[in-house]
A and B are shown apart, each in its own frame.
Chain A
Amino acid sequence: MKTFYNNDENYVTEMLEGILSAYPNMLKKANGEIRSIARKDAPIKGKVSIVSGGGSGHLPVFMGYVGKGLLDGAAIGNIFASPSMNQMLTLTKAVDGGKGVLYLYGNYGGDIMNFDMAAELAEEEGIQIKSLLVADDIASGEKGNESARRGVAGLFYAYKIAGACADEGASLEEVYQTTQSALKGVRSLGVAIAPCTVPGASKPSFTLGENEMEIGMGIHGEAGIKREKRKSADEVTQDMIDLLLDDISVNGGEEVSVLVNSLGATPLEELYIIYRKVSEILHEKKIKIYQPYVGRYATSMEMAGFSITLFKLNEKYKKYLDHPVWTPFVREG
């Protein structure tokens, strides 16, 4: 793999310096800590703050969603490694507007341990914290064992709901409950055809034969549910939608939002070829698509592949999806 970076030790810091210099009016370092990125106008008095974070290598997850209508801040770890407890704590203190902080992040062990300890120490300092894990990847836990699942592109919908709800002036408990309920209707599944290489590592995170693909591959290269011969866009999309609809029942007449996401290297052109098929399948089933998103929303460096996320909607969630957001990577409304 050919790449452009200076050296692996400075990879994350130089990326963050670049983002901060590109968006000086939107983002800032919390208390001078470059691994703790807050929205420029934080803390927002009287609003519940939404904080996320995790390893680097997934842009625009996480700090690409820091800004009006989404996150108040994100703690940034090394590539594929959780940020430190102290980076989370520093950020928490910097963004708390007096109404409490929701920790909203993906279901990964390292992130949980660091966020849990940050929550304990923040609470000792009088900041109210609730934690909510995003666990939308159906490949990483059987139905009935949803709490084992990893968090992937569904993070984007979690941020949309929590951010909009917090902007309405809801309490910490209300933001938590609303987002938790919404996440019960969010399911994702990915497929990979080529791996990524972590800067500094001597080899890719996994190997796949030229004619192989792996359904359910995790965004750090975690094993998926089946490895098989590559199929056409239409065939693999059909398989994935079937698996998703096995997991979450959506009836004809109901509405969903669809997110077709590139894992990094797969181009927009291919994403729209996939979206075309998703739309056709759902149309046949009389499932209405309310608000589609197609693009790079949660990636894994230069991994080639894509994921599909379905979000079962009601009127309230539709309203929240329409809520304006203004961040480095997403600007709507």
Chain B
Amino acid sequence: MTIQLQAEDVKKIFIQLAETFTREKDFLNDLDSKIGDGDHGLSMSRGSNAVMKTLENNPGFSIYDMLTKGGMQFNEVTGSTIGILIFSAMRAAGLAIKGKDIICLKDIRVMLQASIESIKKRGKASKGQKTILDSLIPALEYLEEQEDSTDESLVIKGMIDKAHEGAQSTKNLTAKIGRAKWFSNRSIGVMDPGAYSGYLALHAIGKYILKNINLNNSK
């Protein structure tokens, strides 16, 4: 079997994301208060819950609608840097699969790539600057390396691991951009909350796939 996500699955993933960020709110706030203004967890939980509500209120949404209109609602309730970056990323992912009813592993890679490009452009950021990109880019690179792999379950697990390593690696980085740069002398040793959120998102998506999509290769 291979990965095939339908609109209903994507909706359930967004519910998982809202639950994840609600649960991790205080931890993310705490990370952010060490290197920023301490509201990252609040933004992520507020934003992801707004996306979930939008999807619940609009049962007819296509996957494209969920990403673009849901993303707009994320930005609407949080504003701020993270709000516009998540909106840009979701919108880019939506545009990348516009018209599709089923998402396969290759689509996930294309969506992640489009999201990363939009964050780079909007945030004028690159890898190694202690941002969300530091967990997303290693995950994308792994998906690209494994392009020809037939064991999709292993690929998803690897993607989650790479995102986790990427988030952890930000502990050793100095913030170069964003508000954290004003705290750059205090930022060494602290994991970037944005990078950790990137990992949490990929973890929630990956876990949903591993749990709900039958990827047993031997059959």
Interface residues of A (CB under 8 A from B): 55, 77-87, 108-110, 113-114, 116-117, 140, 198, 200-201, 203, 205, 218, 220-223
Contact = CB atoms under 8 A, between A and B. Distances in A.
Contacts of B82: 110
Give the top 3 A-B pairs by smallest Cβ distance, nearest first: A110-B81, A222-B182, A81-B80
Interface stretch (B13-21, B38-46, B103-111, B195-203): B38-46
Given A84-B76, A117-B122, A223-B186, 16 more contacts: A77-B79, A82-B79, A109-B177, A110-B79, A110-B82, A113-B81, A113-B84, A114-B75, A114-B79, A198-B38, A201-B29, A201-B33, A205-B37, A218-B182, A220-B179, A223-B185
Contact of A87 (B38, B79, B85, B178): B79
B170 interface: no
Contacts of A82: 79-81, 83-84
A109 B123 contact: yes
Interface of B: 29, 33, 37-39, 42-43, 72, 75-85, 87-88, 122-123, 177-179, 182-183, 185-186
Contacts of A198: 37-39
Contacts of A110: 79-84, 179
A221 B32 CA distance: 13
A221 to B, nearest CB: 7
Contacts, number: 88
> Which secondary structure dominates chain B's binding surface?
helix
B185 to A, nearest CB: 7
Given A113-B85, A205-B38, A221-B37, A85 B182 contact: no
A19 B107 CA distance: 48
Contacts of A78: 39, 78-80
B80 A86 contact: no
A200 B38 CA distance: 10
Nearest to A79: B39
Residue among B29, B76, B79 with the highest chain A CB neighbour number at 10 A: B79
Contacts of B87: 85
A83 B83 CA distance: 9
Contact of A84 (B84, B179, B182): B84
Contacts of A114: 75, 79, 83-84
Contacts of B179: 108-110, 220, 222
B78 to A, nearest CB: 7
Contacts of B75: 84-86, 114
Contacts of B85: 113
14 contacts: A55-B79, A78-B80, A81-B80, A82-B81, A82-B83, A86-B72, A109-B179, A113-B81, A140-B182, A201-B33, A218-B182, A222-B179, A222-B182, A223-B183
A198 B122 CA distance: 27
B37 to A, nearest CB: 6
B190 to A, nearest CB: 14
A82 B87 CA distance: 14
B122 A84 contact: no
A117 B76 contact: no
Nearest to B26: A202
A80 B37 contact: yes
B126 to A, nearest CB: 15
Contacts of B178: 109
Contacts of B185: 223
Contacts of A117: 84, 88, 122
B123 A201 contact: no
B37 A87 contact: no
B47 to A, nearest CB: 10
Contacts of A221: 37
Contacts of B88: 113, 117
A113 B182 contact: no
